[in-house]
Structure 1
Amino acid sequence: MAGRTVFVTGASQGIGRRIALAFADRGANVALAARGDGIEETAAEIGDPSRTLPVRTDVTDESSVRSSIAETVDSFGGLDVLVNNAGIAGPTAPIGAVERDDWDRTMAVNATGPYLTAKHAVADLRESDRASVINISSISGKRPLENRTPYVASKMAVIGLTRTLAFELGEDDITVNAICPGATSGPRIEAVIEAQAESLGVEYDEAKRRVFTEDAALETLVDADDVAEMALFLASDAARHVTAQDVNVDGGTAWY
């Protein structure tokens, strides 16, 4: 990855931070895009200011996305990899109790965000010798998750975006893939499990088992570093002919 430039949304924490660190460890220049101060912490963890660019970005705001990508290209001379990781969990509630504002916000971050970044990155990606778009979806984009309708719908949308972009950009040798993580260890999934426990009227450990680990072959949550390793592979020369795919990193929960 030496000399290549990667733009990672949601790079302030969780999976996004681990993806940014993984690319930086392999020598890439990394633009760290997110709204919060965590991007500065990610940059400090990388420890090489010459190869990091913390850039405040709201993926739901087109002008913010446009300016962040332009700043990245100006700083590093091009763009090779776009990782659309920014996302929110959305509400945990049956559909009749989901507020319209919560629905709109979940779709704006999880589905409109990847559209906006792709829209404004594609011209620069076309100039790369090995360009790749990696969208972080979820196994919830493939199978039901009770009381999480906005999240599931948004992650299904990401898979549709991935497949369509792969064919739209294929003539430019740009690969486009989605990673579908299972429930991934970290603060976000802990909050989701707590909300599910409350919704189901059970204890935290029972909600974790019933909703996330009971039907996984490995019976465990996913580690964010495993998702990062898959992102590295999909952006590598070894995956030059892997495109239009939604790849599970889920401990054996979904099989399609």
Structure 2
Amino acid sequence: MTAPDRPAIPADRPAFPGDRVAGRTAVVTGAGNGLGRAITLALVARGARVVAVGRNRERLDAVAADADGLAGGVRVAAADVSDPASVAALTGDLADETVEILVNNAGIPGPVAALVDIAPDEWDEVFATNVRGIYLMCRAFLPGMVERGAGDVINLASVSGKRPLTRRTPYTASKMAVIGLTTTLAYEVGPAGVSVNCLSPGPVQGPRMTRNFTLEAERTGKTYAEAEEAFVSRAALHRMLTAEEVAAAVVAMLHMPGLCAADIDLSAGMVAR
């Protein structure tokens, strides 16, 4: 993929436009629940047209219903980002869309076990969604951005990719891979005017963390409250994030036109290294 000459900014247009969301089309993966749902609703509320992508059509339809009446609009597209054929079909279905923003949020937590007890299929499943999914989606939608000389890609990683997280090696390894993918890809397409960045959230309130605390309590003999406290006590704000805070960070990153090849920690002050 050859980067074209960067188009000149017209004299009557400011170099740093105030709104970099309204009127643009964004694809958000893993949009059916959790962070993907929150990111979709935040972008729509600010006037973006969002293509909500996920494996569960019913959940995607529910998100679209929640977005009804907001400034932008939602188009639902069922796809499995880990499957090349499914992503190719998605690309064909969206041939009529000019995708200007790609938010690669889809991910799975994977097993909670010692590395020696993790089966190769379990390891591969985590990397197929968390890393290959980003590769396939970027491979599908970056050419159009490069050709137009503009675009934004935000990949969701995790602070867990940068510090020890016991019994979670597939997840943490996959998230560090996302960071490496992001920074290298940014240098490939940056000269064409496409910004690629990474957002690394800390623990977010929701079913996933409830599951983790439950398993940790069972493993250690602690109460659920003790397992949760041991975790959140590492954060300066002494709490977890909300999905809405992560979504707000995505919107903020899109309004930072000089941001490229960055990995931003959003962790309520949890030490990442």
Output the TM-score relative to the length of structure 2. 0.88
Residue in structure 1 matched with residue 167 of structure 2 by the alignment: 147
Alpha-carbon separation, structure 1, partners of 2:149 and 2:183: 21
Letter in 1 for 2:166: E
1:54 to 65, 70, 76: 76
Aligned-partner SS, 1:90: coil
Residue in structure 1 matched with residue 234 of structure 2 by the alignment: 215
Judge conservation of contact 2:160–2:272 (CA < 8 Å) in 1: no
Letter in 1 for 2:83: D
Aligned-partner SS, 1:59: coil
Judge conservation of contact 2:39–2:250 (CA < 8 Å) in 1: yes
> Structure 1 vs Structure 2: percent identity of aligned residues?
39
Alpha-carbon separation, structure 1, partners of 2:112 and 2:206: 18
Q: Which runs of 5+ in 1 are unaligned?
A: none
The answer to whether the aligner puts 1:245 opposite 2:267 as a matched pair is no
List structure 1 runs of 4+ shifted beyond 6 angstroms.
none
1:119 to 136, 139, 150: 139
Task: Give, in angstroms, the shift of residue 187 of structure 1.
Answer: 1.1
Report how many aligned residue pairs link the two structures: 251
2:94 to 62, 72, 75: 72
Aligned-partner SS, 1:226: helix
Alpha-carbon separation, structure 2, partners of 1:70 and 1:250: 37
- Cα deviation, 1:110-144, whole Å, max 9, x if unaligned, reads 11110110111111222446411000000001111
Letter in 1 for 2:239: T
Judge conservation of contact 1:12–1:42 (CA < 8 Å) in 2: yes
Aligned-partner SS, 2:142: helix
Within 5 Å, give how 1:66-215 maps onto structure 2.
66-74=88-96, 76=97, 78-128=98-148, 130-210=150-230, 212-215=231-234
- Cα deviation, 1:187-207, whole Å, max 9, x if unaligned, reads 122112212222223221111
Residue in structure 1 matched with residue 245 of structure 2 by the alignment: 226
Residue in structure 2 matched with residue 40 of structure 1 by the alignment: 61
Q: CA RMSD in A?
A: 1.6
Task: Give, in angstroms, the shift of residue 34 of structure 1.
Answer: 0.4
Alpha-carbon separation, structure 2, partners of 1:192 and 1:106: 16
Alpha-carbon separation, structure 2, partners of 1:61 and 1:202: 40
Rg bigger for which structure? Answer: 2
- Cα deviation, 1:49-104, whole Å, max 9, x if unaligned, reads 98311111101101211222332341x3x011100000111111111111222111
Judge conservation of contact 1:73–1:79 (CA < 8 Å) in 2: no
Q: Which runs of 5+ in 2 are unaligned?
A: 1-20
Moved more, 195-204 or 28-37: 195-204
Residue in structure 2 matched with residue 19 of structure 1 by the alignment: 39
Alpha-carbon separation, structure 1, partners of 2:228 and 2:103: 28
Judge conservation of contact 1:132–1:234 (CA < 8 Å) in 2: no
